[in-house]
DNA sequence: CTAATGCCGACCAATGAGGTCGGAGACCTG
DNA sequence: CAGGTCTCCGACCTCATTGGTCGGCATTAG
């Protein structure tokens, strides 16, 4: 469905919480889970993976928990999604350079162009540090200067404009 | 896993084939299926949905098949994904404006920023017409002028640069 | 009429996401 | 120092979604 998994969602939620509300204290998984009303055990698993990535420092025992081990500007949402969700490419064929994954590598005609699209999406994801994923909505830094997409009119007549603008967020959930 | 579904992949494949190789003749589903070595029945289902969207004209009977009914610049990959895959938003909460879908709408702190990221991704997808998804790799139009992402150095030190560049396409498939 | 094609719905199988369990180690109490 | 408790940790399980299949019906060229 081209969407973040719950795990990625939880990971971003937790990281944002740690970056904002956990200056230099250990935060228990339970605390975050209750704060956001999400299953604690599943979040625990996510936290483990984040810890294994080296982004969180864990300390067991009572008064234990997790602490953000790196700067909140050194991880991007792309990194998080890739780590916790297992790859964030649009198609399989973009993981391995020699098409060992994708079946129709041999006679696929859209690999090149799609790869380009993929890179653009990855660029977007890779340039939003988790610092910008915080309580504040639409962070000023990102809004104004971080990422801006320039799209000249190209060869697209009226139809494209209509279709593109209509379809920003419009979902049919039958 | 944040990736296009097979159905979207097939749809793009078929549309690209029709745009390139089906100037003004009816193309059978079987032909496309065999060309790309994909299951014919599933592709048929995808074709039906594309036809129902009005993008393909269908004609039953012998010597029947499909024809591209609209200009190859009036549909974008965003449109295709959205139609065939059912919504292309990063999270559920971005479909409905009042959080009727997402559970933790009430105490979610990342909705705003993530929504912004979502819009950027959607922008990318909505500005690539299927004309640019063709046999040619990395179409010149898209490469040079269509979409360009400008990202000034912002507040991100060396770590971000390293992380971002490292993680373009690198998948761990355990 | 007959054959070839699209059209439609129901059906089945496998993958993986979401969720759960019991353990191992570290702090705290006495 | 010993026990209890609280935490992380890794393996396990279940089920919804996706990918894929089948058969029957309508439509049209030959
Ligand atoms: S879809 Fe994998 S090579 Fe085209
Ligand atoms: S994830 Fe849906 S509201 Fe935040």
Using one digit for the tens of pLDDT, what is the confidence trace for A103-132? 677 778 888 888 888 888 888 889 999 888
Q: Residue A60 above 70 pLDDT?
A: yes
> Residue A140's pLDDT is what?
44
Q: CATH code at B27? A: 1.10.10.10
Q: How far apart are CA B131 and CA B127, in angstroms?
A: 11
Q: Residue B172 above 70 pLDDT?
A: no
Q: Token digits for B66?
A: 């499909």
In this complex, do A119 and B156 lie within 8 Å of one another by their Cβ atoms? no
Encode pLDDT of B79-105 as tens digits: 999 999 887 788 877 766 665 567 677
Ligand 1 in contact with A91 (CB < 6 A)?
Answer: yes
Give the CA dihedral A112, A117, A121, A126, nearest 10 degrees. Answer: 40
Residue B143: inside a domain: no
In this complex, do B159 and A74 lie within 8 Å of one another by their Cβ atoms? yes
Distance A31 CA to C13 C1' (A): 40
Distance A53 CA to D17 C1' (A): 29
Q: How confident is the model at residue B139 (pLDDT cuts 50, 70, 90)?
A: very low
Write out chain B residues lying below 8 Å of A91, CB-based. 3-4, 9
Structural domains of chain A, count: 1
Residue A172: inside a domain: no
- The two beta strands, A56-59 and A65-68, are antiparallel
Residue B40: inside a domain: yes
How many helices and strands in chain B, by DSSP H and E?
7, 3
Q: How confident is the model at residue A142 (pLDDT cuts 50, 70, 90)?
A: very low
**Domain containing residue A69:** 6-135
Residue B63: inside a domain: yes
Residue A83: inside a domain: yes
Residue A30: inside a domain: yes
Q: Which of A112, A122, A124 sits opposite B137 (nearest CB)?
A: A112
Distance A61 CA to C7 C1' (A): 63
Write out chain A residues lying below 8 Å of B124, CB-based. 117, 120-121, 124, 149
Phi/psi of residue A56, each to 5°? -120, 145
Q: How far apart are CA B108 and CA B102, in angstroms?
A: 10
Residue A61: inside a domain: yes
Phi/psi of residue B49, each to 5°? -65, -40
Residue A160: inside a domain: no
Closest CA to A32 of A58, A14, A16, A54: A14
């Amino acid at each position: 469905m081209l969407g973040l998994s719950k795990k990625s969602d939880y990971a971003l939620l937790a990281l944002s919480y740690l970056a904002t509300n956990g200056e230099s204290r250990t935060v228990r998984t339970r605390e975050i889970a209750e704060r956001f009303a999400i299953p604690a055990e599943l979040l625990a698993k996510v936290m483990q993976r984040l810890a294994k990535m080296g982004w969180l420092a864990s300390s067991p025992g009572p008064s234990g928990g997790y602490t953000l081990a790196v700067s909140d500007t050194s991880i991007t949402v792309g990194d998080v999604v890739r780590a916790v969700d297992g790859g964030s490419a649009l198609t399989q064929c973009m993981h391995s350079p020699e098409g060992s994954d994708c079946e129709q590598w041999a006679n696929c005609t859209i690999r090149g162009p799609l790869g380009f699209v993929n890179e653009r999406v990855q660029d977007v994801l890779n340039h939003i540090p988790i610092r910008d994923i915080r309580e504040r909505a639409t962070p000023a830094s990102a809004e104004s200067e971080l990422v801006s997409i320039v799209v000249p009119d190209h060869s697209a007549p009226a139809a494209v404009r209509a279709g593109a603008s209509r379809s920003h967020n419009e979902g049919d959930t039958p």
